[in-house]
Structure formats: C-alpha cells, structure tokens
Structure 1
Amino acid sequence: MVNCTVCDQNTGKYKCPVCRAQYCSVPCCKKHKEENCKPNQITEKNETVETTTKESQKKPEFVTEDTVPNELLERLRESKKLKEMFKVSDLKKLLNYVDKSDNPYKDVQTAMRDPLFTEFVDECLKIVDPLQNQQDF
C-alpha cells in the first residue's frame, strides 16, 4: 500500500488522472491540484520521475511482443465507440476496481464475466489487433 502523497498519513486510495499521484481524500486531492500536480510528472509508489522529452514518452522502457505501438494507443484514445462506453458509470467502476486491485489478474478474470467489460475489451482488441480479430470470426 502507498501512502497519500499529500498528507503521508493515510493510504492513497485514489490516483490523480494527470500525474498518477496517490491521495486519500477530497481535501488532499484539492491541495494536490493546487500545489503539486504537474502534467509532465508521473508519480508511482511515492517516487517521482520527470519526463523530460517527448521522445522518452514515445518509447516504452521495456518492449515485449505484447507491447502496443503508440500509434495504436492513439487510436484507442480517438475511438468514438470507446468514448461512448466510458460514459457508462459501471464500466468506470470496473476499470477502477481492476486498476486498484492487489491481484489484477484474478480481478480481470472476474470483470470478464460482465458483458459490458467484455464488450470494452473486445472493442480495444479490434483497434490494437484488427488482423487477429478477423481471424477469430
């Protein structure tokens, strides 16, 4: 568990959408936004890493066969269907649940039982691996 990056007293249950800093409450969130939040800063596990160039943001640190190229990630961001799906609060709850999970593998399996989550995953896969999806049908 990671402590709140603002008060350092409570567990950081929530993550800032801009820099991913963890905080524990609404007052800490407000204080973080007013004083500490920097869009070019990524905070994980109470360690701050400055991203200095766009080049460092483009290249993943560890590339595997499953690494998704940035151009495909951009397509996810631009997808109208995914944007519509994010308007459904239940999907947001499921994604937050998996994101905050201590056992994400198990919790993704659980979330896959929900048709909304499965539809979301299928739509993501259609965008990042369209050839594989055509072969499945």
Structure 2
Amino acid sequence: MFCVTCQVPTNKYKCPTCLESYCSLNCYKKHKEADCESKQSLNTPTSEVSHIEEPTLHEPFSTKDTVPRKKLEMLKDCAALHRLLCNPHLRNLLKEIDVTPDAWKAMKAAMQEPLFLEFADECLKVVEPQVADDCN
C-alpha cells in the first residue's frame, strides 16, 4: 500500500471515507482537502449505499476455519466483549493486528497477552459455543 498523497509505502492509516491509505496527519489533511469521496458513493447509486457491507467482512477465500457471517454478527450483542473493548490497551492491540503486514506474527505475539486471550475466549464462546463448553 502507498500513501494516497505522497506515495510513500505505508499501511499505517486508512481514510474513513474512501479507505485509501495515508502515512501521516499532514497527508490526511491534504487528502481531505482534495474532496475525498467514499468509494461506495462513486460506484453505487445513493439508494443502495446503506446496504453495502463493510469491506473487511467479505469472505473471499472460505476455508474450514472461516466463521459464517451470521455468527460474526452475533459478536456485536455480547456484553462481555463490549466490556473488554472498553480497555484502550486491547483496542490498540487489535488496531495493530489489523494493520500489520505480518498478521500471523502479530497474532502470535498477542496470544501472550492475558487480556487478548480473554477477548479471544469470549469471541469463541459466541461463534463456537459447543467447543468453548467442551473445554471447560
């Protein structure tokens, strides 16, 4: 990925409107001054914009480990996850994992954090309840 403004290689930040990558606050400000538009609104009629899925939720390469979308959506109603996500350290850890070029390495490191393990366990209780129950 390259910064949309200065073309420096980066994967640090993404514009919330158009999802283009940028490397710094200055580049973001320049990008916003250039009338940044949502990619969704450029390619889709306005009546359909509200029905578009978030890009990170697509399942382009399903495997035996892919969690079905309906189960993923159940996560948003889990009170224990909401409580855990109030922790800024956990949120920062999740953001780092999301933007790292080596996700496997980042996940391996995160699994050393008790807070992340608690988060992962709560997620598993929702998406694979029978497996989580068998482990207790």
Any conservation in 1 of the 2:2–2:8 contact (CA below 8 Å)? yes
TM-score, normalising length: structure 1: 0.72
1:33–1:131 Cα change, 3 Å: farther
Give deviations 1:99-126, integer Å, cap 9, x for gaps. Answer: 2223221221111111111111111111
- AA partner of residue 127 (structure 1): V
1:119 partnered with 2:118: yes
1:89–1:56 Cα change, 3 Å: closer
Q: Secondary structure at the match of 2:4?
A: coil
User: Structure 1: which 5+ runs fail to align?
Assistant: 42-49
Any conservation in 2 of the 1:3–1:9 contact (CA below 8 Å)? yes
TM-score, normalising length: structure 2: 0.73
More helix as a share of residues: 2
In structure 1, how many angstroms separate the alpha carbons of the residues matched to 2:64 and 2:90? 28
Higher Cα Rg, which structure: 2
1:90 partnered with 2:89: yes
1:14-93 mapped onto 2 (5 Å cutoff): 14-17=13-16, 19-32=18-31, 35-38=35-38, 40=40, 60-93=59-92
- AA partner of residue 70 (structure 1): R
1:2-17 mapped onto 2 (5 Å cutoff): 2-9=1-8, 11-17=10-16
State the superposition RMSD in angstroms. Answer: 3.0
Q: Secondary structure at the match of 2:126?
A: helix
In structure 1, how many angstroms separate the alpha carbons of the residues matched to 2:62 and 2:96? 26
In structure 2, how many angstroms separate the alpha carbons of the residues matched to 1:90 and 1:60? 28
Q: Secondary structure at the match of 1:63?
A: coil
1:51–1:12 Cα change, 3 Å: farther
What is the identity percentage for the equivalent residue pairs of Structure 1 and Structure 2?
Answer: 38
* Runs of 4 or more consecutive aligned structure 1 residues displaced over 6 Å after TM superposition: 55-59
User: Structure 2: which 5+ runs fail to align?
Assistant: none
- AA partner of residue 23 (structure 2): C
- Structure having greater relative contact order (Cα 8 Å, sep ≥ 6): 2
